[in-house]
C-alpha cells in the first residue's frame, strides 16, 4: 500500500472537457489517486485545456506560471497538460514550460496510467496520437465518482465539418459515435448512482450514428427514445447540434418524448449568407429560420440558444446587420457571442482580418441585443409553473437551487432533501442570474 496520492484537475472549455476530466480522474483513481479541490498539497496537477479561441489557449500558460511556486516548493509534484491545447501544441508546451511532465491529448487519456509509470521513472511523457482503439473501451467501466443528480455523457466525438474558423476537427479528430449498448450501460450506471438528468454530448451530437445492438446504425433520436425508457432517468438533454444534422425524428422527439427537455442549443454563427458561405457552414440564414419554425411547431415552448461569431474575415456592417436581424427574428432564451479569433492552421486565419475596434464594437452591440432578449425571456417566466430538478444548496441559508426544464436556474426556500428530486415550482421573481420560486 503506497497511500493515496492527491490529484487536482482544472477544466477549461466545453462540457466535453468536463466529461473527459471525470474520466481522467477515474483512470488515475485506479492508479491510487484521489481527487482534491485545490492545487495546494496535490501530488499531481492536471490542466484540461481548450484551444477554441486565443484567450482560452493562453490561459494554460498563465496558469502554469501560477503553479511555478508550488512546483518549486515540492519538486515531486507532477504537472500534466491535457485537452485541446495539449493536442494542438503539446511539444511547444513542453519547450515553453519545462516543468510540464506530461502532455496527453483528448483521444489518448486512457493511456494515462502507462504514462504515469514513465513519470515514476523520472521521464517525461507525451502522447497526442489519434489511436485506432476506442479509448472508452480501455477506461474503467465503473463510473465510481460520487455524483450529483446531473451528468454528462459523451456519445459522439470529433467533427468532420471543418467550419473555416474552427480548431475542433484538428484537436478532436474525425467524427466517431460510440456504440448504443455501451451508452445505455453507462446511462444505467449513472442512474443507479443517483443521476436524474443526463446531457448527451458531442461536438456534433445530432450527427450521432452509433452501432445498434443488433447491427445497423442508430441516429440520436432513437438513442434518446431508448434511453428515455430507463427507469429513474427523468430528463435528457443534448448538445451541441449542427443545423444540417437536425433529422426529422429528432425534431419529432422534441414534441413527443416527455423526458427530452424543451431546450435546444443550435448555433448559427452569422445571419449573413455571404459570411456563412465563407465560414463553410453549408446552410443559409433562411434555412436556419425555417428549421427553427419546424422545431417550434413540434415544441412551441422550446427555449432556444445559439452561438455567434462577429468580426469574421470579410464581415461588413451590412453582414453584421443581418446577424442582428436574425437574432431579432428568432428570439433566443440565451445566446453566446464571440469575437472572431484567428486560429493557427484554420483557413480563415489566413484571410484579411476585420479591424479589431470595429469587431469589438459589433460584439458589444450584439451582446446588448442578446442580453435584452435573455432578460425578457427570463422575466416572462414570472407567474409560470415550472418543474425543477434540485441540484445543490443555495447561497442563502435554507435555500436549494436547481434547473427548470428550460435550463433557468431556480431557487426556493426548502429542505436539503429536495436535492436530487424534481418538484413543481411557481416562479415569483426574476433576478439577475436566476429565478426565485415557491414550492407548489
To which residue does cell 508550488 refer? 70
- Which residues of this chain interact with ligand F3S, rule CB under 6 A? 13-14, 16-17, 50-52, 83-84, 167-168, 171-172, 203
Q: Does 307 bind ligand SAH (CB under 6 A)?
A: yes
Q: How many CB atoms lie within 10 A of CB 133?
A: 12
Subset of 79-138 contacting ligand SAH (CB under 6 A): none
Exactly one of 222, 237, 242, 299 binds ligand SF4 (CB under 6 A); that residue is 242
Locate 317 and state its grid cell: 456592417
Nearest residue to the partner ligand SAH, using Cβ: 307
Q: Does 306 bind ligand SF4 (CB under 6 A)?
A: no
Q: Does 176 bind ligand SF4 (CB under 6 A)?
A: no
Length of the chain counted residue by residue: 440
Q: CB nearer to ligand F3S: give 19 or 320.
A: 19
Cβ–Cβ under 8 Å, residues 88 and 343: no
Subset of 131-170 contacting ligand SF4 (CB under 6 A): 159, 161-163, 166, 168-169
Q: Does 152 bind ligand SAH (CB under 6 A)?
A: no
- 392, 430, 396, 429: which is closest to 413 by C-alpha? 396
Q: Does 245 bind ligand SAH (CB under 6 A)?
A: no
Q: CB nearer to ligand SF4: give 280 or 399.
A: 280
Cβ–Cβ under 8 Å, residues 272 and 285: yes
Q: CB nearer to ligand F3S: give 151 or 388.
A: 151
Among ligand F3S, ligand SAH, ligand SF4, none, what binds residue 162 when CB lies within 5 to 8 Å by partner kind? ligand SF4
Provide the 3-class DSSP secondary structure of residue 428: strand
Residues contacting residue 80 through CB under 8 Å, at least 6 positions apart: 44, 45, 46, 47, 100, 101, 102, 103, 104
**What is Dmax (Cα atoms) for the chain?**
67
How far apart CA 242 and CA 200 sit, in angstroms, is 14
Q: CB nearer to ligand SF4: give 177 or 203.
A: 203
Q: At what angle do helices 285-298 and 248-256 cross, to 10 degrees?
A: 40
Residues contacting residue 382 through CB under 8 Å, at least 6 positions apart: 427, 428, 429, 430, 435
Subset of 189-218 contacting ligand SF4 (CB under 6 A): 203-204
Q: CB nearer to ligand SF4: give 53 or 242.
A: 242
Least separation in angstroms between CB 291 and ligand SF4: 15
Among ligand F3S, ligand SAH, ligand SF4, none, what binds residue 169 when CB lies within 5 to 8 Å by partner kind? ligand SF4
Provide the 3-class DSSP secondary structure of residue 134: coil
Interface contacts to ligand SAH, rule CB under 6 A:
52-53, 165-166, 168, 203-204, 240, 242, 267, 269, 307, 309, 338, 340-341, 343
Interface contacts to ligand SF4, rule CB under 6 A:
159, 161-163, 166, 168-169, 203-204, 242
Amino acid at each position: 500500500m503506497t497511500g493515496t496520492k492527491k490529484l487536482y484537475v482544472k477544466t477549461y472549455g466545453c462540457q466535453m472537457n468536463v466529461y473527459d476530466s471525470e474520466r481522467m480522474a477515474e483512470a488515475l483513481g485506479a492508479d491510487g489517486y484521489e481527487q482534491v479541490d485545490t492545487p495546494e498539497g496535490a501530488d499531481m496537477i492536471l490542466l484540461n485545456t481548450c484551444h477554441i479561441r486565443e484567450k482560452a489557449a493562453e490561459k494554460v500558460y498563465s496558469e502554469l506560471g501560477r503553479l511555478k511556486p508550488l512546483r518549486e516548493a515540492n519538486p515531486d509534484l507532477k504537472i500534466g497538460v491535457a485537452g485541446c491545447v495539449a493536442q494542438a501544441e503539446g511539444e511547444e508546451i513542453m519547450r515553453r514550460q519545462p516543468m510540464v511532465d506530461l502532455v496527453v491529448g483528448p483521444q489518448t487519456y486512457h493511456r494515462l496510467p502507462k504514462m504515469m509509470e514513465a513519470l515514476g521513472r523520472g521521464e517525461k511523457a507525451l502522447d497526442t496520437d489519434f489511436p485506432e482503439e476506442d479509448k472508452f473501451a480501455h477506461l474503467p467501466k465503473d463510473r465510481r465518482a460520487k455524483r450529483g443528480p446531473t451528468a454528462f455523457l459523451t456519445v459522439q466525438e470529433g467533427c468532420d465539418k471543418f467550419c473555416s474558423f474552427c480548431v475542433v476537427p484538428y484537436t478532436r479528430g474525425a467524427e466517431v459515435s460510440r456504440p448504443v449498448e455501451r451508452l445505455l450501460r453507462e446511462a444505467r450506471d449513472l442512474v443507479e448512482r443517483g443521476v436524474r438528468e443526463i446531457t448527451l454530448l458531442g461536438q456534433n451530437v445530432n450527427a450521432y450514428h452509433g452501432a445498434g445492438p443488433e447491427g445497423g446504425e442508430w441516429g440520436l433520436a432513437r438513442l434518446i427514445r431508448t434511453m428515455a425508457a430507463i427507469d429513474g432517468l427523468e430528463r435528457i438533454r443534448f448538445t451541441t447540434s449542427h443545423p444540417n444534422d437536425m433529422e426529422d425524428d429528432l425534431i419529432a422527439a422534441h414534441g413527443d418524448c416527455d423526458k427530452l427537455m424543451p431546450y435546444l442549443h443550435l448555433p448559427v454563427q452569422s445571419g449573413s449568407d455571404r459570411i456563412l458561405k465563407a465560414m463553410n457552414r453549408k446552410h443559409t440564414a433562411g434555412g436556419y429560420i425555417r428549421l427553427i419554425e419546424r422545431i417550434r411547431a413540434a415544441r412551441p415552448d422550446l427555449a432556444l440558444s445559439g452561438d455567434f461569431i462577429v468580426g469574421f474575415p470579410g464581415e461588413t456592417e451590412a453582414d453584421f446587420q443581418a446577424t442582428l436581424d436574425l437574432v431579432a427574428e428568432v428570439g433566443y432564451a440565451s445566446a453566446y457571442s464571440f469575437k472572431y479569433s484567428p486560429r493557427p492552421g484554420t483557413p480563415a486565419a489566413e484571410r484579411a482580418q476585420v479591424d479589431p475596434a470595429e469587431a469589438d464594437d459589433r460584439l458589444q452591440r450584439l451582446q446588448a441585443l442578446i442580453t435584452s432578449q435573455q432578460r425578457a425571456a427570463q422575466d416572462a417566466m414570472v407567474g409560470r409553473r415550472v418543474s425543477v430538478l434540485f441540484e445543490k444548496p443555495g447561497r442563502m441559508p435554507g435555500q436549494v437551487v436547481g434547473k427548470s426544464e428550460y435550463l433557468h436556474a431556480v431557487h426556493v426556500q426548502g429542505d436539503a432533501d429536495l436535492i436530487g428530486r424534481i418538484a413543481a415550482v411557481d416562479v415569483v421573481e426574476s433576478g439577475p442570474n436566476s429565478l426565485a420560486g415557491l414550492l407548489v
